[in-house]
Structure 1
Amino acid sequence: KIGGFVTPKITDTIQPAFNATVLILIALGILRAFADFHATRTYTLLIWTAIILPIVALQQQFIAVLYLPAILFLAIGVQTLIREWYSIFPLNPYARLAGLLPLIALIVGVGYLNYVNYFMGFRYSSLASTYFDDSLRTLNQSLKDERYTKGSVVVVVPNNKVSFFSMLQEEGKDLRVEISNSVAVTPNTSYFVDSRSMLPPDTAAALGTPKDFVVSSKKNNDLRWRVYQK
């Protein structure tokens, strides 16, 4: 499952949304919240979390709602860490400043690691490309070929893709978009049939053998279009 408390990184293993350092800060924030339960902020947050936890325990698909309380506890944990460090050196501003440097490095490091994990996970995942459909790109490239633009062009796609590929007509391209069970075979026409579309037997017989195949650069499921010409 991609979502909730997992990162968008597509790998064989699902990584937690928070690393160990962040979890320690969240735990520190929870402890501080219990210590300051009389404060309005922490009192409201603890009640909110107590209401959410049973719901998530019964309906695990709603686990994402715990993300916001976790972030708030993280903020309390960071605030507590800085405040406790200040209390160690109440009269020495130079020691406070020197102590803030490792804290700043800690916070910046945690933020950078989460940034890299979130924004770069897709880019460097070998499986990410399988989640993107390049049918439109390959079709546009094929329509530039003069072999297919001398006559009419019919694009045959599944029913749920008709509205999407109809955008090509709005761009002024001379073509028709049809579903597989309503294709009218006419002469001097090129038919681009989506690889996921199954033609009725009579239509397949009328079109005959594909004249060409349009493929993508993907290793798996690379066939995008079957091209027929009449």
Structure 2
Amino acid sequence: MGIDVTSFYVYRWRYWIGYSLIGILLVGLLIFAGLYVPGGISNKEVISVIKSSSISVTDVQSLAVTDLPYHLLQKVSLAIFGVSDFSIKLPSLIIGLFSAVGLIFLIRLWFRPNVAVLTSGIAVTTGQFLFTAQSGNPSIMYIFWSVWLLLLGTLIAKRVKPRTTWKVLFFVVAALSLYTPLSIYALISMAVAILLHPHLRYIIRQLSKPRLAGAFLLGVIVVIPLAIGVIKSPELGLTLLGVPTQWPNFGANLVLLSQQYLGFALQSATGVMTPFFGLGSVLIIGLGAYRLFSMRQSAQTYLIITWLVCLVPIMITNPRFMSVAFLPLVLLLATGLNSLFRYWYSLFPNNPYARILGLLPLGVLVIALIFSGLERYIYGYHYAPQTVQNFSQDLSLLPKNTRNLVVTASQLPFYNVVAAHNKNLAVSTAPSSNTFVSTFAAKKSYTGYSVERIVTSTAYQNSDRFYVYKKVN
């Protein structure tokens, strides 16, 4: 009598075990990334902090900014925890967690459980996702909006209860997503897919029109501040559409795009580790693209194709908007893995042992992709000179007992935000006390003062970050 593999406890609970491991790994990686790697803040994060602090809920005009939901959340984080590396990154970490959870549910709704578990594991451990999720600027919103728009749309299409809740949430999320540049193209691709695919048109006709109208009206109310801003400043509308301010260099942009996705032997030229996916993942994505274009019947296929068609010209004109293509590529990755499973199962349709043994090399492949992605992220953002130099540890190095901080005029807006959340700190461009601390950029010979101490970082170059001056008697 043969062994019944399906009776094993581990086999029966394999998907729950897989998702639990992914959840534990995800939370651990987000905390690790937020605290240790890359271990500092970039110039984009500094700009984000300044922008978040300038928003006032009592001033409607200040709400007409790109990525308003993110900046409001970051403003709350700074108000509660003060200005630190972690409080700056906390909104992105929270949104990254919700993005990953939504992605896992989405892939589970679109694909079989085995494909969903493996794809989710690869996706949430890629360097691109982890870097975006820890970066204290709105780049994570590209992933968040696309994931949740598609997830809520899928729940509506599958008529999952509570139906009205999903409709209301979809229109609210759609309205909020319009505050983020390029998010409108996800909505356009969904609308085009509905127009082209008969089954999607049938689903829309079956929905309650009064409830749709009510949810749509709620979305319109949410987007009113943005509409006012676009009317007063048309440049804001161009920014949201991703229209460049000057004519792009298409040749240079194509080279940069190829480096971001195919430059496996090249150093990063943008301060971000590239390529975004490892070679193994890219090959599976290529297989997924082949299967997608050879089997164009499903609604999911229509959606992914229209989405990619919308994104290609945007990516060519703005190749630095790297995160907008994350979800379509993950769906292609899942499609490629699904094709591998189907092919293997077709070889042994009636032999469960051969089918299970065939999963071993696929499992080894996925584990290798996960660990190689983590290795590239950790070592790339901790040791690679072209990336490490883009992150400053100055906030954590600033002496705790600093009362007077002298900065340059360009540094003043950011450190004014720091001082606004620290009542004991005064920031200026000239010394105003017997003892003061100067940033590296503001250091010079101050008449009547001498350097008492130098605060350094672990960097190989420019490691002197702060100078402590004391008045000479």
TM-score category by the smaller chain? 0.7 to 0.9
> Which residue of the partner structure matches residue 463 of structure 2?
222
Query: Structure 2: how far apart are the matches of 1:77 and 1:56?
Result: 23
**1:76-123: CA deviation from partner (whole Å, max 9, x where unpaired):** 000010011000011111111111111111112112211222244323
Tell me which protein shows more helix as a share of its residues: 2
Residue of structure 1 in register with 2:429 after alignment: 180
Matching residue of 1:133: 393
Bigger shift: residues 117-126 or 106-115: 117-126
The higher radius of gyration belongs to 1
**Bigger shift: 127-136 or 22-31?**
127-136
Determine the C-alpha separation between the residues in 1 that align with 2:469 and 2:460. 21
What one-letter code is carried by the residue in structure 2 that aligns with 1:137? L
The alignment partner of 1:215 has SS state of strand
Tell me, in whole angstroms, the C-alpha distance in 1 between the residues paired with 2:309 and 2:451: 64
Given the superposition, is the C-alpha separation of residues 164 and 46 from structure 1 closer, same or farther in structure 2, using an over 3 Å criterion? Answer: same
Counterparts of 1:159-198 in structure 2, within 5 Å, are 159-160=412-413, 161-165=415-419, 167-169=421-423, 176-181=425-430, 183-184=431-432, 189-197=434-442
Question: What SS is found at the alignment partner of 1:61?
Answer: coil
* Counterpart amino acid of residue 128 in structure 1: V
Matched AA of 1:49? L
Measured at CA, do residues 21 and 195 of structure 1 come closer, stay the same or move farther in structure 2, by a change above 3 Å?
Answer: closer
Specify whether residues 104 and 129 from structure 1 end up closer, same or farther in structure 2 by C-alpha distance, changes over 3 A only. Answer: same
Q: Does 1:95 align with 2:354?
A: yes
In the alignment, is residue 49 of structure 1 matched against residue 308 of structure 2? Answer: yes
Q: Secondary structure at the match of 2:380?
A: coil
Q: 1:35 to 1:222 in 2, by over 3 A?
A: closer
Match of 2:325 in 1: 66
Offset of residue 167 of structure 1: 4.2
The answer as to 2:283 corresponding to 1:24 is yes
Question: Is residue 110 of structure 1 aligned with residue 110 of structure 2?
Answer: no
Other-structure match for 1:156: 406
Determine if contact 1:138/1:214 at 8 Å carries over to the other structure: no
For 2:338, what is the secondary structure of its paired residue? helix
Task: Find the counterpart in structure 1 of residue 453 from structure 2.
Answer: 213
Residues 60, 195 of structure 1: alpha-carbon distance in 2 compared, 3 angstrom cutoff: closer
Are the structure 2 counterparts of residues 68 and 136 from structure 1 closer, same or farther at C-alpha, using a change threshold of 3 Å? closer
CA contact (8 A) 1:134 1:216 kept: no
Code of the aligned partner of 1:193: S
Aligned counterpart, 1:40: 299
- Structure 1 residues 72 and 212, CA, compared in 2 at 3 Å: closer, same or farther? same
Structure 2: how far apart are the matches of 1:156 and 1:166? 15
In structure 1, runs of 5+ residues without a counterpart are 145-152
Report the AA paired with residue 460 of structure 2: K
Percent sequence identity over aligned pairs: 24
Distance across 2 between alignment mates of 1:56 and 1:130: 23
CA drift of 1:72 comes to 0.6
Report if aligned partners of 2:419, 2:427 keep a CA contact under 8 Å in 1.
no
Q: Deviation at 1:128? A: 2.3
Given that 1:209 and 1:228 are in contact with CA atoms closer than 8 Å, whether structure 2 keeps it comes out as yes
1:195 and 1:226 in contact (8 A); partners too = no
- CA drift of 1:30 comes to 0.9
For the residue of structure 1 that corresponds to 2:405, the secondary structure is strand
Q: TM-score, normalised by structure 1?
A: 0.73
Partner amino acid, structure 2, of 1:155: L
Answer 1 or 2: which has greater strand percent: 1
| 1:33 Cα offset (Å) | 0.8
In 2, Cα distance between equivalents of 1:41 and 1:130 = 39
1:150 equivalent in structure 2: none
For residue 37 of structure 1, report the CA deviation from its aligned partner: 0.3
Gaps of 5+ in 2: 1-130, 133-138, 140-256, 269-273
| Structure-1 separation of matches of 2:322 and 2:367 | 27
Distance 2:432 2:377 in 1: 48
- TM-aligned CA distance change 1:59 to 1:138, over 3 Å: closer
Asked if residue 78 in structure 1 is aligned to residue 332 in structure 2, the reply is no
Deviation at 1:227, TM superposition (A): 0.6
SS of match in other structure, 1:16: coil
Give the alignment's TM-score, normalised by structure 2.
0.38
Distance 2:404 2:313 in 1: 55
Matches of 1:123 and 1:211, distance apart in 2: 31
